[in-house]
Amino acid sequence: MNNLVTRPLIEAEDLMGKLFSLGHKIIHIPTLKISSVKTEPIDAKKYDAFIFTSANAIRNLNVINQDKNKLCFCVGAITEKIVRMSGYNNTVSAGGTVNALKNLIINSNQINEKSNIAYFCGDYVSYDLDFELNRESIRTSKIINYTSEKILDLNEENKKIIFSHPPDIIFVYSTQSAISFIDIVKKYSLYPLMTGSKVMCISKKVAEIFSIDKWKKVGVFNPGDELLQLKKDN
C-alpha cells in the first residue's frame, strides 16, 4: 500500500519507520514549515498548569523555574507521550480533540476560579481554547511559541512517484495542513490522479475541508491509530 504522510519529518519519522518495516511504500510531503518564536522565558511559578495541543509547543518550550510536577493537560496520547519524554510526570490526556480537552480542564478537580493556566500553541489555531476557558472563568493565557507556514512546492521526485504510483491513503493532521495539501494538489493538477485515494483526517473538522472540496473518500482516525486504520482498509 502506498501511503502519503503530510507531517513535518520530526513528527512523521516514527510512523514512516513503522510503515516501512511493514513493507508499505511512503510518500513524504510535508505541508507545513514549523519555526520557533523567540520569546522571553516564561516563569513556570506563575502558572498552576500548562496546556499543550501540539508536540511543537513542547519542542519550543522556553520556561524558567521548571517544575516537572506541573500539571500538564494534553490534547491526546501522542502529545502526552512527548510531554512525559520531556520530563513532566503529572500529565492528563484528552481524547484527541481540543473540545474534549476543554471539557477535561473544566471538569478537573485540580482547577478552579483561582487557577492560572498557560496555553502554549502556534500562531494558527482552529479553536480558540483560551477564549473558551476564560469564558468559563478559568484564567488562561495564550503563549505563542512557534509558527507554521504553508509549504506549496513539490519536489521532482515526489511528482514522479505520484504520477506513477498515486497514494492509496493520505494522512492529514490539521486544518492548516489540509488547506495546504489541497493547494498543492490544485497547483500541480494532481486531483485526477487521486480520485482513488482515501484521505484520513485527524478530526471531523479536518475531514469537512476535504468533503467541501469534493473529495470522494474521506475518513477520520484517532491519533496513533494509523496502522490500525491501514489494517481496516486492506
**What are the extents of the domains in the chain?**
2-31+151-233, 35-148
What interhelical angle do 9-21 and 226-233 show, nearest 10? 40
The mean pLDDT value for 65-88 works out to: 93
Q: How many percent of the chain have pLDDT more than 70?
A: 99
6 neighbors 172 (Cβ within 8 angstroms)? yes
The mean pLDDT value for 153-170 works out to: 94
Q: How many percent of the chain have pLDDT more than 90?
A: 77
State the pLDDT confidence band at 1, using cuts at 50, 70 and 90.
confident
CATH 3.40.50.10090 fits 35-148, yes or no: yes
Is it the case that residue 234 has pLDDT exceeding 90?
A: no
CA atoms of 63 and 52, how far apart (whole Å): 14
Q: Which of 118, 6, 113, 4 is nearest to 53 (CA)?
A: 118
**48 φ, ψ to 5°?**
-90, -20
State in words which class domain 2-31+151-233 has. Answer: alpha beta
**Angstrom distances, CA of residue 101 to CA of 23, 29, 79, 207:** 35, 29, 12, 19
Give me the count of residues in the chain. 234
Count of H-run helices and E-run strands, the chain: 9, 13
Is it the case that residue 141 has pLDDT exceeding 80?
A: yes
**Residue 69: how many other CB atoms lie within 10 Å:** 9
CA atoms of 111 and 46, how far apart (whole Å): 15
pLDDT digit string, tens, across residues 89-125: 999 999 778 899 999 999 999 999 899 999 999 999 8
- For residue 70, what pLDDT is reported? 97
DSSP 109: T
133 neighbors 140 (Cβ within 8 angstroms)? yes
* SS3 category, 152: coil
Domains 2-31+151-233 and 35-148 share a fold: yes
> By mean pLDDT, which of 13-22, 59-68, 161-170 is the weakest?
13-22
Find cell 500548562 and name the residue: 50
- For residue 56, what pLDDT is reported? 93
**Residue 14: how many other CB atoms lie within 10 Å:** 12
pLDDT digit string, tens, across residues 28-65: 999 999 999 988 999 999 999 999 999 999 999 999 99
Averaged confidence pLDDT in the chain: 92
Q: Which residues pair with 63 in a beta bridge?
A: 42
DSSP string, 183-208: HHHHHTT-GGGGTT-EEEESSHHHHH
> By mean pLDDT, which of 10-14, 86-90, 112-116, 204-208 is the weakest?
10-14
The mean pLDDT value for 123-132 works out to: 92
Is it the case that residue 148 has pLDDT exceeding 90?
A: yes
pLDDT digit string, tens, across residues 207-225: 999 999 989 999 998 877 7
Is it the case that residue 134 has pLDDT exceeding 90?
A: yes
pTM of the model: 0.86
- For residue 115, what pLDDT is reported? 95
